[in-house]
Structure 1
Amino acid sequence: MLTLVIRAKKNCVAYFEAKQPRKRGPGRPRQYGEKIKVSELFDHREHFSNVECNIYGKVEMVSIASLDLLWKPTSCLIRFVLAVTKRGPIILMCSDLNQDAVAALELYCARVRIETMFDMLKNIMGVFRYRFWTKSLERHSRKPSKNKDLKKTKSSEQMGKVRLCFAAYERFVMIGAIALGLLQLISIKYQKSVWKAFKGFLRTKSRKLPSERTVKFVIADLLVRDLFSLAPGAVIREIQGYIFSKKVVEPERQGTELKAKPETTVIET
């Protein structure tokens, strides 16, 4: 189950749940109770608690509170998280009514790192540039209708090919994510070696730690030089050994049985 955490507008309004009357009369019972402007809840600081929270990589003391209210666009209860940080007040909306308020705030502050990771996966690693296709998939139009493509795929054999195609998409993206993590690990552990081998031009270094793009540039250059070297490194030797390994040739069979070799007898004189 996915949990959605988004930021609410300053003029966002919500409703308390309607109090059901003891004697139900004719007609549908009320769903919405008293209307409230969510930002007005910041005036009631006695309901807030002071806790330590990680805000954009820095630990600070924040005042935070949570309240479940009805929101008309969804027609159901939404958890509203109200927090006062050094950057000012913030209102978050969470789809999970059991979500911890502090965890929701920290997850929202981590969105910058998540968006940066997707930018690196797209522009540095190229993980979303896959071109896997199968004839079992129908051609997509620019404005496809709902559930149009899978309904056309009738046979089970075609559905199996479609699932394999989707699995190839996911594996390609996962391998790219693993490669991005390895670049980050190399940047942290071997930053001096990376800067020493870097032959590009940078007007100014923004930080001591090399970026993923810098590490990729260095690793690519080292692999190309190692590939054409007379004494390649361990990685290239493994690749060459995998490609040029000798295949085991099975003996020829006649029917279902192998030819038995004639036995030899040694006579001592």
Structure 2
Amino acid sequence: MSTDLTINAMEIICLYGLRFKIEVSFKQALRTLGTYAYHFWMRNMQPIKRRSGNQHVHKRSSEYRNAVRRKLAAYHRHIQAGVIAQGLLQYISSAFPSLVWNSFGSWLRTMRPGICPSEQVTAIAMRNCLPEFLVDSSQKSILTKFILERIDFSRAEGARLVA
């Protein structure tokens, strides 16, 4: 169905197909990368009752409004970084499918080596290669230094690097 009567039925179906792909892309971004899982909250925000409306930020101090602006900017950066990461996963999946499948390290019933892997499979393959990447870097790149300075060796990914 469409409100635009100038579009023929096949074009409407094709447009709906694109919408479905966009929805799947949002779901992948959320589940694979946590792109939209950012919690918008600030320490000095006053809690409000559920479904009671908004915070009425215009009635607050300029310091508070600036804090809300900073929080919104952080929220936008989080989403943008997630979407960029998803695009990189899609590129790696389509440009290097055999390398991804070789690094996947597991088995799937739907695994077909001639077909590009999903973002989830690509993310798992990259996670599996991280320790090897960090250890085998002949010259310490900026990325390697950045990751090593921020990795928590008490968590699972750190334990795999130590082993």
Is this contact kept in 2: 1:188–1:209, CA < 8 A? yes
- 1:137-148 equivalences under 5 Å are 137-145=45-53, 148=54
Determine the structure 1 residue equivalent to 2:41: 133
8 Å CA contact 1:138, 1:152 repeated in 2: no
- Residue 111 (structure 2) pairs with residue 186 (structure 1): no
TM-score by length of 2: 0.75
In the other structure, the counterpart of 1:199 is 105
Give CA-to-partner distance per residue, 1:211-238, whole Å, 9 cap, x none: 11111001111113333x2x3266x632
Residue 132 of structure 1: how far off its partner (Å): 4.8
Change (3 A) 1:139 1:210: same
Tell me how far 1:241 sits from its aligned partner.
4.2
Give runs of aligned pairs for residues 239-258 of structure 1, distance below 5 A: 239-241=143-145
Larger of the two Rg values belongs to structure: 1
From the two aligned structures, give the one with the greater helix fraction.
2
**Match status 1:225 vs 2:132:** yes
Change (3 A) 1:157 1:169: same
Question: Partner letter of residue 92 of structure 2?
Answer: I
Following superposition, the deviation at residue 110 of structure 1 comes to: 1.0
What TM-score do the two structures reach when normalised by structure 1? 0.48
The one-letter code matched in structure 1 to 2:64 is Q
Give the 4+ runs in structure 1 shifted more than 6 A: none
Of 127, 133, 142, the residue aligned with 1:238 is 142
Superposed, 1:1-269 pairs within 5 Å as 7=1, 79-81=4-6, 83-85=8-10, 106-145=14-53, 148-151=54-57, 153-205=59-111, 208-227=115-134, 229=135, 231-232=136-137, 237-241=141-145
1:193-226 deviation line (CA, Å, top 9, x unaligned): 1112221111232661111111100111111333
Amino acid at match of 1:189: A
**Where does structure 1 lack aligned partners over 5 or more consecutive residues?**
1-6, 9-77, 86-101, 246-269
Q: Equivalent residue of 2:33, what SS?
A: coil
The count of residues paired between Structure 1 and Structure 2 equals 148
Structure 2 distance, partners of 1:129, 1:192, is: 31
Q: In 2, distance between residues paired with 1:205 and 1:244?
A: 33
Answer whether contact 2:93 2:116 (CA < 8 A) is retained: yes
| Other-structure match for 1:15 | none
Residues 218 and 139 of structure 1: CA distance in aligned 2, closer, same or farther (over 3 Å): same
- Give the CA deviation at 1:143: 1.4
Q: Root-mean-square deviation (CA), in Å? A: 2.9
Change (3 A) 1:196 1:242: closer
Separation (CA, whole Å) in 1 of partners of 2:138 and 2:86: 22
Q: Which ranges of structure 2 fall in alignment gaps of 5 or more residues? A: 150-163
Q: Give aligned-pair identity as a percent.
A: 28
2-side partners of 1:168 and 1:143: how far apart?
24
Higher strand share goes to which structure?
1
Question: Using a 3 Å threshold, how does the CA distance of structure 1 residues 202 and 105 change in structure 2: closer, same or farther?
Answer: closer
1:136 and 1:162 in contact (8 A); partners too: no
